Amino acid sequence: LSYVGQNEYDAGYYLAKYLVDKGYKPKRVVIGIHEVGHIGLETRAKGITDAITQAYPGTPVEKLDITTDPTKAAEVFKSYLTAHPDTDVIFTLGPLGAHPALQVLREMKLTGKVHLLTIDIDDTILKAIDAGELDAAVSQQPYAQGFLPVVFMYLYVKYGIIPPPQVPTGPTVIDKARLETVRKQIATTGGA
């Protein structure tokens, strides 16, 4: 009847737009992609690329295959940052990229010098946002993804109410200002 969830392009686009709206003009952007060819991740990366290049034409934006192996991902990020010291923004497309990127920024003493943003959240990401090591993350709000379809189905069966074809549950950009609200959501629903 209806798609309830996050539009992956919008997730990438609005995460990058968050940085743009803060007035930050990046010198070089890298997007760590942990499953090259995965349509959802590629779509997120396209959204990021479009938001940056629309706001700042000519800004280099590269996709980097970091694999699903966290150790290898850290090595790939470290090599990239060493080869491209002008990189000042890293986007990752999920915790599989965010965790190694955090580790590398800490090891290379680049925390606070290189902006880090990601999609999807977990406890490590929330702590990194709170510590100022990660600028922001996108939440899909999975509880809403599960709850709303049940409500829509009930309304459809009981009253014949047809839900809209798409109901976005994200992207919701989570930064330090929204942490307490997200913590409440996690405590009461089990996820964010």
Average pLDDT value for residue range 83-92: 98
**Per-residue pLDDT, 138:** 97
Residues paired with residue 65 on neighbouring β-strands, in sequence order = 33
Provide the whole-model pTM. Answer: 0.93
Residue 191 in this model has a pLDDT that exceeds 90: no
Share of the chain above pLDDT 70, in %: 99
**Structural domains of the chain, ranges and CATH numbers in brackets:** 3-180 (3.40.50.2300)
Measured CA to CA, the distance from residue 147 to residue 190 in angstroms comes to 13
- The mean pLDDT value for 54-65 works out to 98
Three-state DSSP class for 60?
A: coil
Q: Which amino acid is at 129?
A: I
